Amino acid sequence: MKRSNRREQGFTLMELVVVIIIIGVLAALVGPKFFGRVSEAKQKAAKAQIELFGTALDALRLDVGRYPTTEEGLKSLREKPSGMETWKGPYLPKEIPADPWGKPYIYKSPGDHGDYDLISYGIDGTEGGDGEGLDIVSWKDIGK
């Protein structure tokens, strides 16, 4: 009986090049769709945070009888402001986060659209915009 003395061989350079090209083509097709979803996810996260702040503001209002003023701001959800003797907070378990783009939320009370307005100016950080630059606000749903 003769035994074949074959060496195990790895991939050839040509096979590696073909695999790299296939991976590149797939990344070019899938990448833009994935990154479009990242922006959409950040907008939804901002809306969820604004709704959470709204719930906490409502709880504060039930205890104190009013919403915090613009000057008292969202920090009143974590720290008792002077003049709020019936404050029973903190109303949020953690510090107030920045919006998903790293900018602070804007709080106004009284607001232009209700008792208070909560705003994230989105990726561009400026008022107005659409698409990725859409402002996320407390008084309407995303995209409306």
Q: What is the pLDDT of residues 69-107, one digit of tens each?
A: 999 999 999 999 998 999 998 999 999 999 999 999 999
Q: How confident is the model at residue 60 (pLDDT cuts 50, 70, 90)?
A: very high
Contact 136, 119 (CB under 8 A): yes
What residues contact 43, with CB distance under 8 A and at least 6 apart?
100, 122, 134, 136, 142
Q: Do the beta carbons of residue 44 and residue 142 sit within 8 Å?
A: yes
pTM above threshold 0.85: no
Domain segments of the chain as ranges: 17-137
Neighbours of 72 (CB within 10 A): 19
pLDDT in tens, 98-116: 999 999 999 999 999 999 9
Class of domain 17-137: alpha beta
For residue 49, the one-letter residue type is Q
Token reading at 20: 């790299």
Q: What's the CA gap between 72 and 79, in Å, rounded? A: 10
